[in-house]
């Protein structure tokens, strides 16, 4: 890969115009770079804060060529960017972080799991399901389990809990017979994630382990650092580094992991981009995941991922924009912003929809207990159903 350093004033390419791209573009601007976005949507969050918006499909030949004419490096903001687009950009002489091969491996859950295991990192017991015959042949020890589509699933979409072979067959048919994977349900103690940043020279840094809590398949809140012991945290970070190295990954990679009741750590899946669970790094760490993405894209040295203060991040979904009668109105942010250590990030999306990620709020404090208390107060003010969970004692 071309390791040329691109100096401030250059334009960095971005595939995808969502909120992760918006925060990348904001970090790029802080460091003196411009951003050109390839995104088919009209009012994309990332495009609003970028120098140039190329409005075209991700696989549009003209759009790809236009992007290549403006930039010498391209990064991504969501995992389902066509790998062929990255390949075509590389053929046009554009440095891509990550590469087409790395993104391709992360886009198929069956390929992904095989790759993770090849890297020496354990996963939950699972089996590929490509046909109804595969369902009939499933080992009974995999039940109860979760049937997931191999491609395009996110935020709980494309997933079904199945207790029996009959339920698995019904879910497989409900997914249209597309390729799936069945994962055995396990005794989970905690879900965590590690964001690893790796440059073209093979050097890497990791952020503190994040503790993640989901509601209806969508991340509800993250506690940074995770309330786990140092040995477990170090093992989780080592797993992430091993996966990035095995992929020869260049860029920002999120590795989602399960900590089981017996203390074992298993890899769940990977996301070849910054991650929702890493939003708190903007305020909580010396360098954020988005600054690291800029540094890697530009060929600059990796930044310092040291935690400066504990933090709790709340996802703000579109449900908050609806009152009791179902009318849309802007939430009252006044009480939230009056809380100590509060930082509000709204993504500029014009239309709120239920379960749509509209923004996030991060609470930083000198202690984890304080950060949890302030996040809980905000959750109560917003009417979030999980507010009481934030009473949980700090590590």
Annotated binding site for ATP: 109, 148, 153-159, 183-186, 191, 214, 268-269
Residues placed in the known binding site: 109, 148, 153-159, 183-186, 191, 214, 268-269
Q: What distance in Å separates the CA atoms of residue 162 and residue 93, rounded to the nearest whole number?
A: 47
What gap in Å lies between CA 256 and CA 222, rounded to an integer? 13
Residue 125: name the closest of 79, 202, 175, 183 by CA. Answer: 183
Place of tokens 């993250």: 222
Give the Cβ contact number of residue 87 at 10 Å: 16
Cβ-Cβ contacts under 8 Å for 285 (sequence gap 6 or more): 207, 208, 304, 305, 306, 307, 308
Among residues 128, 109, 64, the alpha carbon closest in space to that of 91 is found at: 64
Give the C-alpha separation, 116 to 35, whole Å.
32
Q: Could you give phi then psi for residue 135, rounded to 5 degrees? A: -65, -45
Residue carrying the six token digits 């709020």: 361
Residue 148: how many other CB atoms lie within 10 Å = 23
Exposed / middle / buried, residue 360 (Cβ in 10 Å: 0-12, 13-18, 19+)? buried
Residue 187's nearest CA partner among 267, 260, 236 is: 260
């Amino acid at each position: 890969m071309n390791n040329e350093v691109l100096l401030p004033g250059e334009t960095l390419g971005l595939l995808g115009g969502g909120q992760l791209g918006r925060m990348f573009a904001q970090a790029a601007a802080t460091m003196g770079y411009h951003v050109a976005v390839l995104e088919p949507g009209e009012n994309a969050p990332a495009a609003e804060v970028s120098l140039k918006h190329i409005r075209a499909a991700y696989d549009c030949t003209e759009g790809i060529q236009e992007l290549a004419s403006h930039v010498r490096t391209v990064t991504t903001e969501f995992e389902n960017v066509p790998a062929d687009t990255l390949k075509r950009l590389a053929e046009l002489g554009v440095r891509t972080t990550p590469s087409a091969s790395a993104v391709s491996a992360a886009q198929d859950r069956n390929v992904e799991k095989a790759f993770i295991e090849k890297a020496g990192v354990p996963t939950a017991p699972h089996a590929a399901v490509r046909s109804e015959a595969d369902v009939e042949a499933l080992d009974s020890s995999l039940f109860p389990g979760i049937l997931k589509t191999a491609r395009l699933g996110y935020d709980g979409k494309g997933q079904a809990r199945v207790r029996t072979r009959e339920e698995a067959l019904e879910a497989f048919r409900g997914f249209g017979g597309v390729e799936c994977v069945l994962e055995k349900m396990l005794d989970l103690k905690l879900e965590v994630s590690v964001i690893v940043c790796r440059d073209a020279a093979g050097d890497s840094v990791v952020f503190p382990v994040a503790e993640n809590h989901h509601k209806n398949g969508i991340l509800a809140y993250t506690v940074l650092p995770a309330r786990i012991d140092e040995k477990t945290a170090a093992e989780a970070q080592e797993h992430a580094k091993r996966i990035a190295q095995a992929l020869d990954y260049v860029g920002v990679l999120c590795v989602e992991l399960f900590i089981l009741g017996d203390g074992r750590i298993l890899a769940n899946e990977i996301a070849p981009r910054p991650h929702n669970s890493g939003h708190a790094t903007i305020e909580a760490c010396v360098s954020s995941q988005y600054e690291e993405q800029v540094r890697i894209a530009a060929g600059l040295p990796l930044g310092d991922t040291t935690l400066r203060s504990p933090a709790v991040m709340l996802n703000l979904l579109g449900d908050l924009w609806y009152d009791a009668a179902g009318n849309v109105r802007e939430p009252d942010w006044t009480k939230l912003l009056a809380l100590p250590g509060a930082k509000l990030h709204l993504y500029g999306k014009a239309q709120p929809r239920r379960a749509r990620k509209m923004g996030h709020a991060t609470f930083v404090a000198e202690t984890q207990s304080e950060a949890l208390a302030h996040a809980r107060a905000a959750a109560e003010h917003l009417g979030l159903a999980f507010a009481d969970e934030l009473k949980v004692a700090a590590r």
